[in-house]
Amino acid sequence: MIRFENVTKRYPTGQVGLDGVSVYVPRGAFLFLTGHSGAGKSTFLKLITLIERPSRGRVIFEGDDISRLPRRLVPYHRRRLGVVYQEHHLLYDRNVFENVALPLIIAGYGRRERERRVRAALDKVGLLGREQAMPITLSGGEQQRVGIARAVVHRPRMLLADEPTGNLDPQLSAEIMRLFEDFSRIGVTVLVASHDAALIAQMRRPVIRLDHGRLVRDELGN
């Protein structure tokens, strides 16, 4: 699915995000990306979403070297991904339906198809019937579920989550994780960046552990 080949990311400030990381994530895997703050988790995700490009090395996504992907193709690469953020990144001037429909509008789906898929995604996260609600009226856990619905509504091949449970209590976190497991079961590759050791231990999933930009533990058998 995705392969990092000796990837180094050095920021213009001199800070090293990743330092010679090689890792392979197979299709359909469910794994965690962990490490202390500043270990390189965010850099790892940004190199997949092409918010950043590596200083050295290659990132291979489904056979393409995306580290050298032309700028005009970057939007189309991003449409293959679904990303869940800790801060949700919802648009607060639009209702739940419009938020979840956004990836479909961007990808050019027709109205009928949009309605069908948005309902399916909201049903999946247990928010069917809340389409007209404004995000601000929802609880933190509900907002996160809207974010997840938006991340999967266009059926991405890979789901990335950046500290998706950072603001949630353990029970809500477990619910979110159960959702991710469901997606994993239908073949979506799921990569969850988290520093929540207890949660990771409880999930019993492979872990990529980073420390100061270096790969220190890789339980995928690379």
Q: Which is nearer to other proteins, 69 or 181 (CB)?
A: 69
* Least distance (Å) between residue 221 CB and other proteins: 26
Q: Which is nearer to other proteins, 74 or 128 (CB)?
A: 74
- Gap between the terminal Cα atoms of the chain: 14
Distance from the Cα of residue 25 to its chain's centroid: 14
Nearest to 145 by CA among 106, 103, 117, 173: 173
Residues whose CB falls within 8 Å of the CB of residue 94, separated by 6 or more in sequence, listed in order: 134, 135
* Least distance (Å) between residue 175 CB and other proteins: 21
* Least distance (Å) between residue 44 CB and other proteins: 9
* Least distance (Å) between residue 35 CB and other proteins: 10
* Least distance (Å) between residue 153 CB and other proteins: 10
Alpha helices (H) along the chain: 41-49, 74-78, 96-107, 111-124, 140-152, 170-185, 197-203
Q: Which is nearer to other proteins, 124 or 157 (CB)?
A: 157
What Rg do the C-alpha atoms of the chain give, in angstroms?
Answer: 17
Would residue 108 be called left, alpha or beta, if left means φ above 0 and alpha means ψ between -120 and 50 degrees? left
Q: Which is nearer to other proteins, 72 or 178 (CB)?
A: 72
Q: Which is nearer to other proteins, 83 or 127 (CB)?
A: 83
Q: Which residues bind other proteins (CB under 8 A)?
A: 37-38, 41-43, 45-46, 49, 51-52, 62-66, 69, 72-73, 75-81, 83, 85-87, 89-91, 102-103, 105-108, 110-111, 150, 162-163, 166, 195
Would you say how long the chain is, in residues?
A: 222
